[in-house]
A and B are shown apart, each in its own frame.
Chain A
């Protein structure tokens, strides 16, 4: 075999690809990670404008804790040895929600972390919600235990096993098929409490009529119980730390390297061809890019299994993203900004909001973060970093002409800024010292993500995390090729991308040892 044959080639150094490569390298595999950009991280990155350094994407991490061994992400980072190499900033509270209730009244609530505090705050805003909210968080704990069980045990769904599962995790089983709203109704959570509880939906980009209850409650439960964290030096610090694990374990990373094709030999992935024509061979590939891109652009037609074509055609793209990054020349105190995370929407009915996000003109919804509230030293004294993120649920940015693009960007920024000002009563437009606007076009440019999608495939009811897990084998129909990251099995976000990277690495390690034992048998 030539010197350049790798056990595993990972395509794309987003959080998923970095994690997959880190695990595989740590297990002693010969790993090559290829990234078209000049630095690691994909969306998990940062950039500098004037006196400010902005995080591209990260609002907050969940399943993480200050304490070693607590939270899925923390455990994973402990294993990779990076928890203590990264400086962490803890997020002080859950969120501030400003929206409109079903009865037309304004919603303006600030929710704390901590289950008891969260429930008490809810009771204050929505009297008589306490009992159902308490049940809800208890259910959250049960679901956490259940998902741990499922993650640790391969289930065959035999009758005896089902009986065991029903006995121990009955409430998980009975709520797993349903959407957030279906379960909240069943638990008799008052409508107004539902509106507040659903605020985090923008992190997943699926309205609560379709969003998997199991997925949502796991996320919210973790936030409220463990709190949230961000790397103090922005998410780029996380990406650099993950890249460091790969390098320390003799893995190779090549930046500015664009993979254009995936090669197959005898129906199994066997290498890649780079944009410059160079060919590199390997035994396994983990792709951090979208399956749609891989199947439509990077593989020969005949190499794509029919099942992969159908699966890809069945799926819809998740939300496209846009961000406005603001460096303001006043302190948060001077401006009157008190909260870290603002969810600002036109309606608390998530399905209606989802529909408003189909077009550029009607969309002013935002998840806005003021980093200084968590980390007062993130920008020079007397200044503030404020980042606004919005989602589009259609390809509306494809209708822009190149000549009109810059103006459209400025209009988008103006719209989000004035919505923020209206909702909070805080003036910011006079204090803009630096501004950068990222649209779906920008994200398409930097990460090559199709249509500027930031959340992978839509976690629709039939394609949410539980169905994806229960039919995992369906998605592994292309021998030698696995996927990770936001387009992988666990949906999007740093937490999911990292977890899917680990899973893809272990699955591939499993493939390798299976092949080895097959070879030994022969």
Chain B
């Protein structure tokens, strides 16, 4: 043992030790009997920015073209949403839809400037997808007054000033223009400080959705400009062909720039080889999410022998078996659950957010390379993201 230590005097030290309980009792005894303050101001901001659910109502519908509508949504105070959550341009909300027997979600980008959310307005632009499901339902059913249940704004595809170059060159097609519309609107009203050059690729001028609005913004906003590239027709002042390395370089600034890409898989597949030739560092290239993969069998690593097969998935929730669901090898497990009317959690449907997280107790799934964003410990504990997992055998799944 150390030689005897004392802090004040041995006697005092011992007295102070034996007095410790009295000290604490004393402080508590002195405390007021007023009700405990449960008003947590920081949590109020958190709830405001990230509400667990947002109840919205369609305020206005505008027809953009035959298969595209713009929806203005407002908060539905009667259901408990007094204010809309603020967001970063490029973020999206996930809407929940009851379609027949099915309960499905779909993510849609918030297309307006975030400043408009302060004025109680969100804008979504929904295009009917050929062979689609939810998009058709929305376009056929949403009208003024329709109630919409949505998530808080989500997503990481936004301009981050500490990471990205202030000069951003973006490439989109008519399936991916929405984040850039929000960015351009925000640049115009000065709520976003960046320089954006958007290269919008389409077959024909008439297919470039929202081009009128983009043109207006481009004309009136010094930090935003738009360039169209049409593959199937010549248009004055527009490029002809596809987006290539040299086209990007033509419009890119001489200084460092970030490249943002958002659009269809066709766009990605065509662009990726071109981008690799640009020799940009990884950090300067960012892709928007492209949603669930509907034809996994087209991927080179898909186990071909499973095509056409159907399996059975036992679904366990809250400790009990709630259903046995047929599922096809070429459809995500999430879709199989939704078809059966099971309320399975999901948000991004792209493998990224982890919200659909479920435990595979038995069985095998195929997870396409590149969408497997599971945490390391999740992968090693049999956790999967059903939105990007495809059944390869009968299985047992625990959902939340």
- Which A residues form the contact surface with B (CB < 8 A)? 38-39, 46-49, 51, 53, 135, 138-139, 142, 157, 162, 166, 170-171, 173-178, 182-183, 186-187, 231, 233-234, 236-237, 239-240, 244, 252, 254-256, 292-293, 295-297, 301, 304, 306-307, 309-314, 320, 329, 395, 397-398, 400, 402-403, 405-406, 410, 413-414, 417, 429, 431-435, 440-442, 444-445, 448, 450-452, 462-463, 466-468, 470-471, 474
Contacts of A432 in B (CB 8 A): 162-163, 283
Interface centre among B282, B375, B378 (most CB of A within 10 A): B375
- B contact residues around A452 at 8 Å (CB): 42-43, 46
Q: Which residues of A contact B28 (CB under 8 A)?
A: 307, 310-311, 314, 474
Q: When the two chains form their complex, are residues B1 and A237 in contact, meaning their CB atoms are under 8 A apart?
A: no
Contact residues on B (Cβ < 8 Å of other chain), bracket: 35 or more
| Contact between chains at B18 and A157 (CB < 8 Å) | yes
> Residue-by-residue, is B156-177 near A (CB-CB < 8 Å gives 1, otherwise 0)?
1000111100000000000000
- B14 with A166: CB separation less than 8 A: yes
Interface of chain B, helix or strand or loop or mixed?
loop
Q: A157-B18, A329-B283 are in contact. Are A474 and B25 (CB under 8 A)?
A: yes
- A314 with B10: CB separation less than 8 A: no
Nearest chain A CB to B167's CB is how many angstroms away? 15
Q: State whether B41 touches A433 (Cβ < 8 A).
A: no
**A48 / chain B contacts, CB cutoff of 8 Å:** 354, 373-375
B20 CB within 8 Å of chain A? yes
Whether a CB of chain A sits under 8 angstroms from the CB of B66 is no
CB of A236 within 8 A of CB of B5, answer no
Interface residues of B in 1-23 (CB under 8 A from A): 1-2, 4-8, 10, 13-14, 16-21, 23
Instruction: Tell which of B30-38, B211-219, B259-267, B333-341 binds the partner.
Output: B30-38
A403-B86, A435-B163 are known; give 10 further A-B pairs, CB within 8 A.
A48-B354, A53-B376, A174-B10, A174-B13, A234-B376, A292-B37, A295-B36, A307-B28, A405-B45, A471-B25
- Is B162 touching A414 in the complex (CB atoms < 8 A)? yes
Complex-state Cα separation, A166 to B18, whole angstroms = 11
Listed A/B pairs (13) with beta-carbon separation below 8 Å: A39-B357, A53-B375, A176-B17, A178-B7, A244-B381, A292-B38, A295-B36, A296-B36, A395-B42, A397-B42, A406-B86, A444-B45, A448-B43
Query: Which 9 interchain pairs have the tightest Cβ spacing?
Result: A296-B38, A398-B41, A314-B31, A433-B283, A177-B16, A174-B13, A237-B377, A444-B46, A445-B46
- Is B29 in the interface zone, CB < 8 Å from A? yes
Measured CB to CB, the closest approach of chain B to A250, in angstroms, equals 10
- Contact assessment for B161 and A398 in the assembled complex, using a CB-CB cutoff below 8 Å: no
Residues of A within 8 A of B30 (CB): 314
Please tell me which one of the listed residues A177, A237, A310 contacts residue B376 in the complex, with CB atoms under 8 A apart.
A237
Q: Which residues of A contact B41 (CB under 8 A)?
A: 395, 398, 451
Bound: A182/B20 CA distance, A: 16
> Which chain B residues border A413 with CB–CB below 8 Å?
162
Query: Complex formed: what's the CA distance from A173 to B357 in Å?
Result: 50
